[in-house]
Amino acid sequence: MTIEQAIVEAARREGFVLVGFARLRRLDRRAEFYHRWLDANRHADMAWLARDPERRFDPRVLDSRLRSVVSLAYPYVQPAPPAVDWRAELRGRIAAYAFGLDYHDRVLKKSQSIAGLIAAMRPGAVTRNYVDTGPVFEREWAAESGLGWMGKNTNLLNREQGSYFFLSEIFTDIELEPNREPYSDHCGTCRRCLDLCPTGALADGFVMDARLCISYLTIENRGSIDPELRPKLGNWIFGCDICQQVCPWNDPHAAAGAEELAPRLPELLALDDDGFRRRYGKSAVKRAKRRGLLRNVCVALGNSGNPDAVAPLIRALESEPEAIVRAHAAWALGRLGGCAARAALDRRSSREPDTEVSREIKLALGEMRANG
């Protein structure tokens, strides 16, 4: 058995559905695209993406001994949220990849098992594992390894597996033989992901603008969400699956509803630090932190149009310690309107210590006056 065959068999046992190999080289075409993307500030506030980009173009900058990459794809379930009226039941929406325990730990452990096999077969071999944890062009190396093609939604797509999978890479100094032919593009003239993105984050030419992406806005963004974008978030409170859901290469018949992906918004808004850690401490949702998640919850409640959302928002405005949560609660109350919301905003306006929250209260009251 060759080392390539042994890696494939071990990867299958660990649950990886796709395995491919590629020789390392500098990704010159991707480097040109990436520099243009950075120059246009499409990486938003994710400063680490612009830090020493040469490491991303050529993994050998990280370690000159590296020669090959093992690219792995680990599937995750595409569970549909409960079939309910989210506005009536005040439920949020969480991206499917965050279902269950944090994928970083789960998939990395499996990838490290494969690296252990390589070390056992080739004593002294160099291996470096990644699962969304370093300066690596994961999708590009997966495409180089024949796992799929870059879709218009900027996800890696595979004709059999769609795009609901996590990627992992093992870079090594062993020269592995490629085992898959390169994938051709199968998006064709389809534009569903581009046309159905609520915020217009996707554009022709495989361009994704993080400043408009719901996943960025609800996870990586640490500040205020642009008021013009808030209504477009709907009830997404962590991530977004729309550009995958509408892709014809993904199975439209998702698994049974998952309550975890449609939590009750008032319950989340009542979480204190301990409650947040108990509920999401081992989940990918912890990435947003409590203040980020509750900020998103306020936006979703404001988008619900449901008067039942007013009471929990008033409690947040009056007692929430995080200013950013109070600010978005003020916006949501202004959007929902009503006597109770206006009275709460008036009360808070005279004693709010934070300048940004005071500005949001003033804008909310102004919107309510304008709407009569």
CA 30 → CA 61, 119, 282, distances in Å?
A: 16, 31, 34
Q: What percent of the chain has pLDDT over 90?
A: 89
**H/E element, 38:** helix 28-39
The 10 Å CB-count burial string (b at 16+, else e) for 168-205 is bbbbbbbebeebbeebeeebeeeebbbeebebebbeee
Q: Does residue 134 lie within any of the structural domains? A: yes
| Pairing of the two strands 93-94 and 236-238 | parallel
* Cβ-contact 35, 53 below 8 angstroms: yes
Q: Does residue 90 lie within any of the structural domains? A: yes
The packing angle between helices 339-349 and 323-336, to 10°, is 140
Confidence band for 293, pLDDT divided at 50, 70 and 90: very high
In a shared domain, residues 13 and 146: yes
- Using the 3D structure, point to which of 138, 172, 206 is the last residue of a domain: 172
pLDDT value for 257: 66
In a shared domain, residues 236 and 336: yes
In a shared domain, residues 38 and 148: yes
Q: Does residue 182 lie within any of the structural domains? A: no
* The pLDDT of residue 265 is above 70: yes
pLDDT value for 258: 79
pLDDT value for 256: 63
In a shared domain, residues 140 and 93: yes
* The pLDDT of residue 82 is above 90: no
Query: What percent of the chain is helix, strand and coil (3-state, nearest 5)?
Result: 50, 10, 40
What one-letter code names the amino acid at 52? D
In a shared domain, residues 161 and 302: no
Domain count, the chain: 2
- The residues annotated as belonging to the active site are 132
Condensed to tens digits (0 to 9), the pLDDT of residues 164-210 reads 999 999 999 999 999 988 899 999 999 999 999 999 999 999 999 99
Q: Does residue 365 lie within any of the structural domains? A: yes
CA–CA distance, 209 with 223 (Å, rounded to integer): 17
SS3 call for 86: helix
Q: Which two tokens stand for residue 249?
A: 């290469």
In a shared domain, residues 218 and 335: yes
pLDDT value for 161: 94
Mean pLDDT across 108-114: 97
- Using the 3D structure, point to which of 172, 200, 218 is the last residue of a domain: 172
In a shared domain, residues 197 and 162: no
In a shared domain, residues 147 and 90: yes
pLDDT value for 372: 74
Average pLDDT, the chain: 95
* Cβ-contact 175, 67 below 8 angstroms: yes
Backbone CA torsion sign across 320, 287, 302, 304: negative
In a shared domain, residues 145 and 228: no
Confidence band for 78, pLDDT divided at 50, 70 and 90: confident
- Using the 3D structure, point to which of 139, 172, 205 is the last residue of a domain: 172
Total-model pTM:
0.95
Q: Does residue 148 lie within any of the structural domains? A: yes
Q: What domain range includes position 354?
A: 192-370
Confidence band for 252, pLDDT divided at 50, 70 and 90: confident
